[in-house]
């Protein structure tokens, strides 16, 4: 029991003492509780006494000896920040420099790095068809070419088809290499055609075969891959093989690589008719 001053509590009940005298149990001396006023905390809101951390103001008599952790006297390796390089870690090379530095690559006799529209001819079979953009496809072009207003404009579609040696419906290392070459060839040809149309104050852009997005325009989430069902509107067939889809040419079947160019130049434009005539001569 807690009292403001030191007190001694003794059992003074006579009846209790008599009961103890008549009992056969061993007698015990009276229990005396002593509380020193100097050890009491004046305010328990401050928490327990740090010298008596357990409940009931109890502390451990013999505390365990605590030894400081010995520090290892190992040498610490200091990593210094590398000094900034004055020269960039890479360098740029032109195509001519790359071909001259590579011992395993030799330039062809008729090599020309800059493509021109009047020289878009090849020994392989190639076909260029110009058609008016179907109405349903034209409504969806605003999602592909976000920086171009398609309202009240006649859009012409140029489909550049290259015949392939490999079957595009079955993957093989040879097919992959051939597809990469045809992709690079189409991008060069389509870029030259678009730049030539822009010189005539026409808008022109083409679909990147690797991403399905516009190559020259702004980025968009909309895509138009060559296996899209919308290519049915352009005169191609889309065959579903179960695991994938493949586009089919009317003559060459699945041995075809197709690239698409869009422009607001009219279908009867003299430049478009000239390009179609020159490219189809190589067939």
Instruction: Give the C-alpha separation, 84 to 79, whole Å.
Output: 15
Cβ-contact 250, 159 below 8 angstroms: no
Cβ-contact 225, 212 below 8 angstroms: yes
What pLDDT, in 10s, does the model give residues 140-182?
A: 998 999 988 888 888 999 999 999 998 888 888 999 999 999 9
> Measured between alpha carbons, how far is residue 112 from residues 95, 120, 123, 184, 186 in Å?
10, 12, 16, 15, 16
**So what's the pLDDT on residue 278?**
84
Instruction: Give the C-alpha separation, 199 to 249, whole Å.
Output: 32
**So what's the pLDDT on residue 107?**
56
Beta-carbon contacts of 37 under 8 Å, excluding residues fewer than 6 positions away, are 4, 5, 6
* Residue 155 structure tokens: 């859009």
Question: Does residue 249 register a pLDDT over 70?
Answer: yes
% of the chain exceeding 90 in pLDDT = 31
Nearest to 275 by CA among 113, 137, 124, 159: 159
Nearest to 257 by CA among 277, 235, 219, 227: 227
Mean pLDDT, the chain, integer: 75
Question: Does residue 27 register a pLDDT over 70?
Answer: no
What pLDDT, in 10s, does the model give residues 92-115?
A: 555 566 555 544 555 566 655 545
Question: Does residue 3 register a pLDDT over 70?
Answer: no
pLDDT band of residue 131 (cuts 50, 70, 90) is very high
**So what's the pLDDT on residue 169?**
86
Task: Give me the DSSP letters along 117-155.
Answer: GGG---SS-EEEEEEEPPHHHHHHHHHH-TTS--TT---
> Measured between alpha carbons, how far is residue 27 from residues 8, 21, 23, 30, 172 in Å?
20, 8, 9, 9, 103
* Residue 277 structure tokens: 């005539």
Question: Does residue 229 register a pLDDT over 70?
Answer: yes
Give me the helices (H) in 62-217, please: 95-101, 135-144, 173-199
């Amino acid at each position: 029991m807690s009292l403001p001053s030191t007190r001694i509590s003794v059992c003074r009940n006579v009846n209790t003492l008599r009961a103890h005298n008549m009992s056969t149990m061993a007698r015990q001396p009276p229990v005396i509780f002593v509380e020193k006023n100097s050890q009491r905390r004046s305010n328990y809101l401050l928490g327990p006494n740090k010298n008596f951390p357990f409940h009931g103001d109890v502390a451990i008599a013999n505390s365990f000896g605590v030894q400081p952790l010995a520090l290892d006297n190992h040498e610490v390796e200091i990593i210094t920040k590398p000094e900034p390089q004055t020269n960039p870690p890479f360098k740029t090379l032109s195509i001519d420099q790359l071909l001259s530095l590579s011992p395993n690559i030799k330039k062809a006799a008729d090599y020309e790095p800059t493509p021109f529209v009047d020289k878009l001819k090849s020994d392989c079979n190639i076909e260029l068809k110009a058609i008016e953009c179907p109405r349903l496809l034209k409504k969806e072009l605003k999602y592909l070419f976000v920086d171009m207003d398609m309202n009240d404009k006649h859009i012409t579609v140029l489909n550049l088809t290259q015949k392939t040696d490999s079957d595009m419906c079955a993957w093989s290392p040879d097919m992959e290499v051939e597809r990469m070459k045809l992709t690079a060839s189409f991008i060069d040809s389509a870029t030259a055609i678009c730049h030539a149309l822009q010189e005539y104050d026409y808008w022109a852009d083409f679909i990147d075969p690797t991403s399905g997005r516009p190559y020259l325009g702004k980025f968009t989430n909309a895509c138009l891959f060559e296996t899209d069902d919308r290519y049915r509107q352009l005169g191609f067939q889309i065959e579903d093989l179960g695991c994938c889809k493949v586009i089919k040419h009317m003559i060459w079947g699945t041995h075809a690589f197709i690239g698409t160019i869009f422009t607001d130049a009219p279908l009867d434009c003299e430049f478009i008719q000239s390009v179609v005539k020159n490219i189809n001569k190589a067939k």
